[in-house]
């Protein structure tokens, strides 16, 4: 499975592409109010679940450095910037932080006194979106067509 993080018409979304012969799935997301913006052409990568899940301590890096990887991180227990900084330090290209037991999207802001130099984009999504992404990731299906065949639907 590949993910595409993108902003179109002022709305951010996560597109999960699990095979090029089936529809892609789109999930609502909010970009972080710190760090770089998502590139206009979007950002494509493979999903990895953070370990530890909340990324409040340094996390394990992606399986290899030759591909782009996006890490899925659980909300709570520490600041958003700490989570994204740990993702950056581990070598991820972007971070998705998800809400817990809630479908509410929240704006991720930087703490007033932080001096972290965040260089990767991050988005926030819902609990349902994270559950579906985890289930798709567990199936292990991948595609070489990161844009899918269209026909996506909103699930977040």
List, for residues 68-90, the tens digit of each pLDDT value: 999 999 999 999 999 999 999 99
Evaluate if residue 138 carries a pLDDT over 80.
Answer: no
In sequence order, which residues have a C-beta less than 8 Å from that of residue 135 and are 6 or more positions away? none
User: Quick one: pLDDT at residue 86?
Assistant: 96
User: Quick one: pLDDT at residue 111?
Assistant: 77
Count other C-beta atoms under 10 Å from residue 79's C-beta.
15
User: Quick one: pLDDT at residue 89?
Assistant: 96
Give the span between the Cα atoms of 37 and 33, in whole angstroms: 9
Its CATH class, for the domain covering 2-52+66-139, is alpha beta
Evaluate if residue 55 carries a pLDDT over 50.
Answer: yes
User: Quick one: pLDDT at residue 65?
Assistant: 79
Asked if 137 contacts 47 with a C-beta cutoff of 8 angstroms, the reply is yes
Evaluate if residue 143 carries a pLDDT over 60.
Answer: no
Give the span between the Cα atoms of 39 and 53, in whole angstroms: 26
Evaluate if residue 127 carries a pLDDT over 90.
Answer: yes
């Amino acid at each position: 499975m590949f993910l595409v993080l993108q902003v179109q018409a002022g709305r951010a979304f996560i597109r999960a592409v699990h095979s090029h012969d089936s529809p892609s799935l789109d999930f609502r997301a909010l970009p972080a109010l710190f760090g770089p913006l998502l590139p206009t052409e979007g950002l494509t990568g493979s999903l990895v679940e953070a370990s530890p899940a909340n990324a409040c301590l340094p996390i394990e890096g992606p399986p290899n450095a030759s591909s782009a990887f996006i890490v899925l991180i659980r909300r709570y227990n520490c600041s958003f910037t700490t989570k994204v900084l740990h993702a950056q330090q581990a070598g991820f290209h972007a971070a998705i932080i998800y809400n817990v037991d809630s479908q509410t999207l929240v704006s991720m802001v930087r703490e007033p006194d932080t001096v972290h130099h965040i260089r990767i984009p991050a988005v926030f999504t819902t609990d349902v979106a994270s559950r579906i992404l985890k289930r798709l990731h567990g199936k292990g299906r991948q595609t070489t067509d990161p844009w899918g065949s269209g026909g996506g639907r909103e699930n977040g």
